[in-house]
Amino acid sequence: MVIILVALTFFGAISVGAIVRYLVSKREVSVVELQRVKFFSGLMEDAKSKGDVPIPWLERGEMTLSPVGAVPGLGRVLQFPKDVYYHNGHAWAKLEEDNRVRVGLDDFTQQVMGDIDDIEIPPLGSKLNQGEAAWKLRHGQRKLSQLAPLGGTVVELNEKLIKDPSLANSSPYEKGWILKIQPKALSEEMPKLMDPFQFKMQFDQLKAKLMSSFNNQTVGMVYGDGGEVIKGAAVKLEERLWKILVTQLFHSSPE
């Protein structure tokens, strides 16, 4: 009986792998992905040898939805567009036709921070390094420094966002983008980013870790009964707990 179960398990694993490979081989590359294909052309084999190639994205519609539940008062779940790539500090990067990269904060960030009062953005010509502080968000007395998803030179700022920081709340992936950079090492740094599927897997793992670290009362300040992210959770937490959240979920240094 044990031998049979082992055999079935082995056969099942092979079957699942075959199905995934078949789906990936049949996927159609959308228009928004053509630029990404251009950047990765000729680089995939080297990245494969290093074991750091992102898992091919299986088409799941225009927007990927997080399993964290509905956002109170907004009637929606957190959104992670499939045409952008994510850094583990909850910033995103989108490749554009002019070989520049548009970057910004994700839906989770704006939800946790609440109504953003101000965004400190580096000036034109600034040099950013992947994984280092790029901009700073402020809501009331609470501040959050976010990490650059890619390194490069700042070549354009979102002037509308500077005048109206609320765009980062209402449209984090479109009107609320933060800046554009001319990347300096795209072939080396892009494989370190995640597609929406990979990002949500990591996000869920960190969420589980966070829940195990906090008591029920504290968790309730960040997540609702349905697992949804509470808007403005940043200002609801005492300083010690906010520092834990910043370190664990945003991988940033507390102010």
Q: Which of 118, 133, 120, 103 is nearest to 252 (CA)?
A: 133
Residues ≥6 apart with Cβ < 8 Å to 185: 130, 151
Sorted by where each begins, the domain ranges of the chain are 31-199
Place of tokens 């834990």: 244
Q: Which residue type does 40 have?
A: F
**Which secondary-structure segment (H or E) carries 155?**
strand 152-157
- Extract the tokens encoding 79: 């959104």
Does position 8 have pLDDT exceeding 60, yes or no?
no
* pLDDT (tens digit per residue) in 150-203: 999 999 999 999 999 999 999 999 999 999 999 999 999 999 999 999 998 888
Bridge partners, 66 (sequence order)? none
Q: What is the pTM of this model?
A: 0.70
pLDDT tens sequence across 233-243: 888 888 988 99
- Is the CATH number 3.30.2020.30 carried by domain 31-199? no
How far apart CA 90 and CA 250 sit, in angstroms, is 6
Burial of 175 (0-12, 13-18, 19+ CB in 10 A): middle
Which helix (H) or strand (E) segment is 53 a member of?
none
Q: Measured between alpha carbons, how far is 144 from 146 in angstroms, rounded to an integer?
A: 6
Q: Are strands 76-81 and 179-183 parallel, antiparallel or unpaired?
A: unpaired
* pLDDT digits 0-9 by tens, 58-117: 333 444 444 333 334 333 478 889 999 999 999 999 999 889 999 999 999 999 999 999
First vs last C-alpha separation in the chain: 59
The predicted pLDDT at position 18 comes to: 39
25 or 230, greater pLDDT: 230
Compute the distance between CA of residue 91 and CA of residue 68 in angstroms, rounded to an integer: 18
- How far is C-alpha 61 from the chain's CA centre? 18
174 φ/ψ angles, rounded to the nearest 5 degrees: -120, -90
Residue whose C-alpha is closest to residue 74's, from 224, 231, 225: 231
